[in-house]
Amino acid sequence: MGVTLKDIAREAGVSIVTASRVFNGVKSVRPAFRRKVMNAAKRFSYSPNLLARGLSKSRSKIVALYLRELGNPFFGRLASALCSELARKSYDLVICDSLGKTLGLSRALSCACSVLVSVGDEEIVDCLSSDSPTLGIFCSVPENKLPVNIELDFSEAYWEICGAALKDGKRSFAAFFPILKQYPNLESSKLAHLNNFVAAHADRADLQYFSSENELLDKIAADSKSVDAVFCENDLSAAQIYGKLVRAGIRIPEDIVLVGCDATVPMEGLWSIGIDLDWIASKVLNCVEKISAGEALKKIAPLKAKPII
């Protein structure tokens, strides 16, 4: 008869309930109890799942990816790029839509590492990092919280695309970032560069802010000359505005330059900013292999985004 959860609990000197909570990733379990249960499981090569190899060895060849916005084309493409790249070296990618699931799977499957996308919760990062190697992509946490956090540098891209709009005769810029409250890091990663450009060309350009689509469209409908360049948080929001402007008789980009970001929704006349997802995936794989080999990780320089006009 095989080893059961009751055997593991007895060996660890804890209750069956506590052992079960450990394998389910319950955060309230004391670290000392969690270590006892996991050590007992390793001694008996026991796992509550089919991947017992993750406990019989130091780490499995599984990577847990926390990604909340799979419905967004950009994040869907990022997940696809990571999956394809990791598969080249026989790593499996498990996608989680909550941080709790990521923590639970990381523990239950003895994942090679966890990868967090666009996370700003330091407590969760600390919890995951203390349990298994953890990498970040676009995370807005202090530098010392993650050994590697792949960041984007939009400065040159926005400066160049703003310059192109200005050269094209556009001067009334509008920033449309409705998810700024959800992702405050966009303030420094994107909007700051728009502000810097306009401040440096204050005699030739101005910048207005819009938090809702209706507010922006009403402004344009009332005075078509009030806005001639719209910078959106991503291609998805730019595409939604694109259709409404075209239906209203606005020509893109002749009347209004419409700028997205991520280069995921190609449309006639839509400007955007490209991000090399294959490069990001290759860096993640490189880090995972170094972790598996017990090598130290080095900080990765921010990826420079590229303007698409």
Domain span including residue 32:
1-46
Give the chain's domain count: 3
Do 206 and 218 reside in the same domain of the chain? Answer: yes
Contact 78, 93 (CB under 8 A): no
- pLDDT tens track, the chain, 309 positions: 568 888 889 999 999 888 877 876 666 788 888 889 888 888 887 766 544 444 444 567 899 999 888 888 999 999 999 999 999 998 999 998 887 788 888 877 788 899 999 888 887 788 788 778 999 999 988 888 999 999 999 999 999 999 999 999 999 999 999 877 777 777 888 999 999 999 999 999 999 999 899 999 999 999 989 999 999 999 999 999 999 999 999 999 999 999 999 999 989 999 999 999 999 999 999 999 999 899 999 999 999 999 999
Angle at 264 between CA 169 and CA 180, to 5 degrees: 75
Q: Please tell me the distance from the alpha carbon of residue 128 to that of residue 107, in angstroms, as a whole number.
A: 9
Q: Domain of 1: which CATH number?
A: 1.10.260.40
Distances (CA, A) of 72 to 170, 210, 254: 29, 21, 28
Q: Is the same domain home to 24 and 74? A: no
DSSP codes of every residue in 186-245: HIIIIIHHHHHHHHHTTTT-EEEEESSHHHHHHHHHH-TTS-SEEEESSHHHHHHHHHHH
204 within domain boundaries? yes
φ/ψ of residue 139, rounded to 5: -85, 140
Is the same domain home to 110 and 137? yes
Pull the structure tokens for residue 253: 């980009």
The pTM is what?
A: 0.78
Beta bridge partners of 259: 231, 271
Indicate if 167 and 254 belong to the same structural domain. yes
Structure tokens at 73: 């084309």
